Amino acid sequence: MTRPLRIQYPGAVYHITCRGNERKEIFKDDKDRYTFLEILKDSLETYSPILYAYVLMDNHFHLLLETPLGNLSEFMRHFNISYTSFFNRRYDRVGHLYQGRYNGILVDKDGYLTVLSRYIHLNPVRVKDWEKKDVKERLTYLKRYSWSSLPGYIYIKKRVSWIDYSSVLEEYGGDNNKGRRSYLKAIRSDLSNKLEIKKEGQSLIGRNKFIDWVRNTFIKERDREIPATRQLKRRPKEEVFKVIGEETGESRDAILYKRGISRQIAMEFLYRAGGLKGPEVGSMMKVDYSTVSQNRKRLREKLKRDNELEELFRRIE
């Protein structure tokens, strides 16, 4: 059997699924789930994908996300390794947690973003124990299911800052009471009509126009995996230095070469906004890749402890 396609480009949207090895549990209790979400949040901040929806089941999870930097593989590698390390330490185990690599299906954002979000949110009742229960009971369960992004689509107080709700709700009338009610109404209709999603092969979900574009742009031979990427339209590096300098009062050379928080912030935003890889940032600052990685990690830790630094970081962002 051929492996699923791994197509990456800036702005690509994916439906990600990852199952436990031998279909075993990857979450044994709520501590596992809370830690998983913390690692997910940190990974989103580090690699800058946009998360639209998620759901955690006992032995697998679903994500719906967009990659403005075209860096899905880097994000998923960091994210999955981080959670596997936590899980193995906690349960004194070694080896793989997941069944092979993650499954990433490329999604036609304009045609399928909203329907994929609903499909993901329906997962907690798409199991045998819930199949014969009535729509009202299943809907109530979904609204109360803690390990899903659905409650945030319905209730403002259930929201978290690291999920983009507005892009999906735009199709339902906007991120307002009307839009949230319309989205819930669509979920209720899906429960009655058994929403299903048709994939094109193993790797694509979209309209014919989108599928043809992907094939013509990335796929040269049928069923051949090509790790294709398109060059990111990068934000000019000088703009990154300019904005940081305006907020910190430091010169370009000081930001580049003087050890300190401004340099760490520059490393982060050259990656996030400038579209540079770690080795490219290191070359610019005359350090190796591991130094860039360590400094970005230290910055993330400082942001958790220092409110003034976090405020500065958000202004620059």
* 10-residue averages of pLDDT along the chain (317 residues): 68 95 93 97 92 97 94 92 95 90 91 94 90 90 96 95 95 94 95 80 82 80 39 61 86 83 86 75 80 82 83 83
For residue 267, the one-letter residue type is M
Are 66 and 195 in the same domain?
Answer: yes
> Which segments of the chain are extended strands (E)?
12-19, 50-56, 60-67, 103-107, 204-205
Are 169 and 299 in the same domain?
Answer: no
* 117-138 burial code (b ≥16 CB/10 A, e <16): bbbbbbbbbeeeeeeeeeeeeb
* 270-304 burial code (b ≥16 CB/10 A, e <16): bbbbbbbebebbbebbebeeeebbebbeebeeebe
* 311-316, long-range: CB < 8 A, 24+ apart: 312/247, 312/248, 312/265, 313/265, 315/247, 316/243, 316/244, 316/247, 316/265, 316/269
Residue listed under structure tokens 């400038």: 274
Are 277 and 173 in the same domain?
Answer: no
Are 138 and 243 in the same domain?
Answer: no
Decide if 263 is inside a domain: yes
Decide if 229 is inside a domain: no
| Count of domains observed in the chain | 2
pLDDT number for residue 224: 44
Decide if 224 is inside a domain: no
- For residues 269 and 250, what is the distance between their CA atoms, to the nearest angstrom? 16
Decide if 295 is inside a domain: yes
Are 47 and 104 in the same domain?
Answer: yes
Of 218, 253, 269, the residue at which a domain comes to its end is 218
Decide if 223 is inside a domain: no
Asked if residue 104 lies in contact with residue 4, where contact means CB atoms within 8 angstroms, the answer is: yes
CATH code, 289 = 1.10.1750.10
Are 156 and 36 in the same domain?
Answer: yes
Of 186, 218, 250, the residue at which a domain comes to its end is 218
**Residue 45 burial (10 A CB sphere; 0-12, 13-18, 19+):** middle
Are 306 and 167 in the same domain?
Answer: no
The answer to whether the predicted template modeling score (pTM) of the entire model surpasses 0.75 is: no
CATH code, 107 = 3.30.70.1290
Are 196 and 95 in the same domain?
Answer: yes
Decide if 228 is inside a domain: no
**Residue 18 burial (10 A CB sphere; 0-12, 13-18, 19+):** buried
pLDDT number for residue 165: 96
231 Cβ neighbours under 8 A, 6+ residues apart: none
Domain that holds residue 34: 12-218
The torsion region of residue 155 among left (phi > 0), alpha (psi -120 to 50) and beta comes to beta
236 Cβ neighbours under 8 A, 6+ residues apart: 274
Are 105 and 59 in the same domain?
Answer: yes
CA 173, 175, 178, 182 torsion: positive or negative? positive
Decide if 304 is inside a domain: yes
Largest CA distance in the chain: 66
Of 218, 248, 273, the residue at which a domain comes to its end is 218
Residue listed under structure tokens 């958000």: 314
